[in-house]
Structure 1
C-alpha cells in the first residue's frame, strides 16, 4: 500500500520530482559512484595490470606517520573553532532579520548577507588577502590610525586560523540563515498574538516562542554539520595556505590532495580519505542517537 501511495504521489507531482533529477544525478555521480573506488585503500595501485590486494597496509603506514597526526590535529582544531564560533551566527542573524519590520530594508539586508555565498573561494581569498594586507589593507589602516603596528595576518601562524573562521563566517552566515528563517515562517502567528496580549516583549517572544520552535531545526542542522566536521574547508584552505602557515592550517583534504594528486600515492591518499569519511559517519550516527536519547529529536 505504501508503494502504491508513493507512486501515486509521484505521478501527481511529477513535475516537482523531475526538478529533483539534476540534484539526484549530481549526488549519484559525484558522491555514490566514487564509493566504488574506496576499495583502492586496501590495494597497491598499478598503472599496468591488476591492483594488488594488501589489506590494511596503507592504514598502518597512515597511523604511524607523524605528518598525518599533525594534519589531523589541525583539522580538528579548525573544525572545532568553526563549529563553536560560526554555528550560532546564522541562528542569531535569522532572529535579527525576522525582527526587521521595514520591507525594503529587510530585503536589502538579506541581499547583502546572502551575496558572499555566491562568490568562489578564489575571489573571497583575494578579497581577504587585500583586506588584510599589511601595507594598505583596511584592518591595518585602522590599526595604524590608533598607533598600533601592522600585522600580516595571512602569514601569521597566530592569526591565520582566525582568518579562516571569520572568512567562512562572512561567506556562509547569511545563506545558512535562510533555513532558520524558513522555520520561523512556519511558526503560527497566533502564538505571537497571544504573547503580545499577555504583554510579552519582542525579546520574550523570541526567547519563549521562536527559539523553542527552532529547536528541532537547530538540532538537525547541528548533527548534519558534524558529518562534515572532518572537512574543515578544502577550497578555503587551499586558496589561503602558504609556506609560512602550512604547519598550522594543513588539513586532511589538502594532505590527501598533496600525496594523492601531486605525489601520485593514490592508494595511500584513498586510505586517508576513507578514514575521514568513516569518522564523519560515526559522528552523525553517534550524535543522532545521543540527541534522540536526551531530547527525543534527531535527523530521523
Structure 2
C-alpha cells in the first residue's frame, strides 16, 4: 500500500497548502505567504457575479443529464454482455466498445465535430439525402448538451461496464441454477438475481457520481464548445481555465476550486447517509 499512500500524500494532500490563496490577493512575485490576506473577498466576487451562477447551472445540468442518461448505459451494457453465450462475439463487442476510452478527447472530439460538420459531415449528408437542410450542430445552443451526453456515452460506457461485469462475475451461479429449477425464465433471472446481485456496486458508483455534480471534464467541453454556445456550454472547469490560466486570476480560481470541493464533499456525505439509511451499503 505504501506507493499508493505516498502518491495520495504527495499529489492530493500536500497541494492543499495552496488553498490559502483563495483567501489572499495572490501575487506571483511575493509568493503564497508574502501575498496580502483579503478574507472572503473572492467568494463575495463570485456570488455577486451573475455569470458565475449561469456557469454553475450549466455544470449542474450537464451532470444531471449524464446521471439520468449516461449513468445507466454501462449497467445495461454489462448486463447485455453477461447474457451473451458466444464468447467470440462477446469479446469482439467488448473490444469495440472499450476502444474509444483509449482515444484522447482531442481525437474523439475531433471525430464528433467532423461527423456533425455542416458541409461534409456524415449526419448532415444523411439529412441532405432525405431532402432536409443541413444543421450547424456545433453552433446551436439547443444541441450542445445532447452532443456532450451522447459523446460521453460513446466514449466511456464500454469502459464503465468493466466494473459491473466484475460485479456480475461475483454472483453465485447456484442462484441461477436454483432459479432455473424454480421455473424462472431469463427475464425473471435478470430481475430477481442479476439486478439485486449488482445493486451494491450500482449504489456505490452512484454515490461517487453524485459527488462530482459540480465537476465536468475540462477536455471534453473545451474541445466541443465555442464562443457561440458559451450560454449553455461554459462550465466551471473551462471558466477556471479562462480566468485562471489565461487571465492570471489565481486567487479567484482557487476560491472556485474550494467551493467545488466543499459542495462535492457535502453531496457525497448526504448521499452516503441516505444510502446507509435505506440500504445495507455505503462508503463508510
TM range (shorter): over 0.9
Q: Please tell me the root mean square deviation across aligned C-alpha atoms, in Å.
A: 1.3
- Structure 2 counterparts to residues 88-237 of structure 1, below 5 A: 88-237=72-221
> 1:48 is matched with which residue?
29
Of 3, 7, 17, which aligns to 1:36?
A: 17
Q: Secondary structure at the match of 1:194?
A: helix
Q: How high is the TM-score relative to the length of structure 2?
A: 0.95
Alpha carbons of 1:154 and 1:26: their partners in 2 closer, same or farther (altered >3 Å)? farther
Number of residue pairs the alignment of both structures matches: 281
| Aligned-partner Cα distance in 2 for 1:29–1:112 | 37
> 2:260 is matched with which residue?
276
| Aligned-partner Cα distance in 2 for 1:33–1:248 | 35
Q: After alignment, is 253-262 or 23-32 more displaced?
A: 23-32
| Aligned-partner Cα distance in 2 for 1:212–1:136 | 47
| Aligned-partner Cα distance in 1 for 2:11–2:53 | 28
Structure 1 unaligned runs (5+)? 1-16
| Aligned-partner Cα distance in 2 for 1:145–1:200 | 48
Q: After alignment, is 86-95 or 28-37 more displaced?
A: 28-37
Q: After alignment, is 221-230 or 134-143 more displaced?
A: 134-143
Query: Are positions 1:254 and 2:254 aligned together?
Result: no
Shift of 1:278: 0.7
| Aligned-partner Cα distance in 2 for 1:57–1:142 | 53
| Aligned-partner Cα distance in 2 for 1:55–1:297 | 40
| Aligned-partner Cα distance in 2 for 1:26–1:156 | 42
- 1:195-216 superposed Cα distances (whole Å, 9 cap, x missing partner): 1122211111010001011110
> 1:13 is matched with which residue?
none
Q: How high is the TM-score relative to the length of structure 1?
A: 0.90
| Aligned-partner Cα distance in 1 for 2:171–2:147 | 36
Shift of 1:25: 4.6
- 1:73-111 superposed Cα distances (whole Å, 9 cap, x missing partner): 111111111111100000000000001110111100000
| Aligned-partner Cα distance in 2 for 1:29–1:109 | 39
> 1:12 is matched with which residue?
none
| Aligned-partner Cα distance in 2 for 1:137–1:51 | 51
Shift of 1:232: 1.6
